[in-house]
Structure 1
Amino acid sequence: MKGKFVVIEGLEGAGKSSAIANVITHLQAKGIETEAVREPGGTPLAESLRDLVKKKWDETLVPTTELLLMYASRVQLVENVIKPHLMNGTWVIGDRHDLSSRAYQGGGRQLGDELLQKLRGLTLGSFYPDLTILLDVDEEVGLERARERGELDRIEEEDLAFFKRTRQAYLNIAAKDPSIFVIDANQPMLKVHKAILRTLEENLF
């Protein structure tokens, strides 16, 4: 792969969108071609799957169903968008990737990381981001920020305990993976952005 795959992760309200915009501006100033993607979504089929995941159904969306929809969407994005861009030398900046499923479905839904690792191997094989930045925000702070943005989707309406489990899963996984860098997203956004760019410079240049 000629390009780099950089992923920004975190709970709702962690500031992923502004962080991604900041990263793209920084890279483009260096003359690097960039492409922003989001998960779930990023292709017509994957966006349809995103709608299924986010929609508030009259029936219970079973955790394993949610998980499989996430990976179906992810594979479409990786194979049809991310890999071609990387081969062309474009840097892809992702709003979420596999780590989100390990945290939300593995931790939040309590499906466990062993199952997630098996599914990851089956669907993604040896494909990994070059760098993952986890914006760690207090669950209550993040949810309050999300509420200020407008109506919450199905997952955002989960109880606080769900997000506590999800956050802890994020941190547990990051503690064991040197390719994941944790940045305190409770601090002022300017400091967060500076920390992100410093992490990029120290690890990818």
Structure 2
Amino acid sequence: MMQGRFIALEGGEGVGKSTQALLLADALRNRGLEVIVTREPGGTPGAEAIRTLLLEGTPGDARGWGPRAEALLFAAARADHVEKLIRPALARGAWIICDRFLDSSRAYQGGGSGLSDVDIMALHGIGSEGLLPDLAILIEVSPDIVAARLARRDGNRSDRIGGRDAAYHARVAKAFNAFVKAEPRRFARIDGSGAPETT
């Protein structure tokens, strides 16, 4: 039996990762492959519980998680996801398409919140034994288009991370751009500005 393949879709808020994940999964299934679409944080009951803590916060805590606690929670969710869903599926030959993975932590908690890439990679080494996707696809869209998409999708309600200010999201985008330049063989970069079927 052949080892499966692991593809992560990366990028900022509202660039179309979830939509593209479903379209890619359909195309691969049409080739007779077993495909699992999942997300980070999430994908397993434990990781989904952590997702709720991260994106909604805890009652009575207006300040929310600090950057280090946030990074630890993402790493814990990822560890559970990798151990219970991703590695077993890859071992049986399935293809995994994940809406975000490690590079989002590097961009958001690193680039956006100022934690070092070394620390985030150390957490990933401990929690997920350093697993990397076979390919990370970075979807990029201009801030104006993203703003219009998010207004349609979310109205005036964003989660704790998506609702951070424009400067934060600009730092996230800059970090993603730096990763692609530093590791061009690990990334594919696509323009997500058009209609979903043409991206």
TM-score (normalised: structure 1) = 0.89
Partner of 2:148: 144
User: What is the deviation of 1:58?
Assistant: 1.6
Q: How far, CA to CA, are the matches of 2:124 and 2:89 in structure 1?
A: 21
Residue equivalent to 1:202: none
Per-residue deviation, residues 167-200 of structure 1 (Å, max 9, x unmatched): 00001011111111111122343331xxxxxxxx
The answer to whether the 8 Å contact 2:124/2:130 transfers is: no
Which residue of 64, 89, 108 corresponds with 2:93? 89
The answer to whether the 8 Å contact 2:83/2:128 transfers is no
Q: From 165, 188, 191, give the equivalent of 1:159.
A: 165
Residue 34 (structure 1) aligns with: 35
Are 2:178 and 1:181 equivalent residues in the alignment?
A: no
Q: In structure 1, how many angstroms separate the alpha carbons of the residues matched to 2:174 and 2:116?
A: 13
Deviation string for 1:51-74 (max 9, x for gaps)? 000014423321111110001000
Question: Bigger CA drift: 130-139 or 158-167?
Answer: 130-139
Residue 193 of structure 2 aligns with an amino acid whose one-letter code is N
Question: Going by fraction, where is helix more abundant, 1 or 2?
Answer: 1
- Which region of structure 1 is more displaced relative to structure 2, 131-140 or 3-12? 131-140
**TM-score (normalizing by structure 2):** 0.91
Aligned residues: 192
Identity %: 36
AA paired with 1:42? Answer: G
C-alpha contact 2:42 2:81 (8 A) present in aligned 1: yes
Q: Amino acid of the residue matched to residue 13 of structure 1?
A: G
Alpha-carbon separation, structure 2, partners of 1:48 and 1:147: 26
Give the distance between the partners of 1:60 and 1:154, measured in 2 at CA: 8
2:120, 2:149 → 1: CA distance?
29
Unaligned runs of 5+ in 2: none
Partner of 2:162, secondary structure, is coil
Once residues 70 and 146 of structure 2 are traced to their aligned partners in structure 1, the CA distance between those partners, rounded to angstroms, is 22
AA aligned to 1:18 is T
Contact kept, 8 Å, 1:139 with 1:163, in 2: the verdict is no
1:142 Cα offset (Å): 1.8
Aligned-pair distance for 1:139? 3.1
Give deviations 1:27-56, integer Å, cap 9, x for gaps: 011000111110001111111100000014
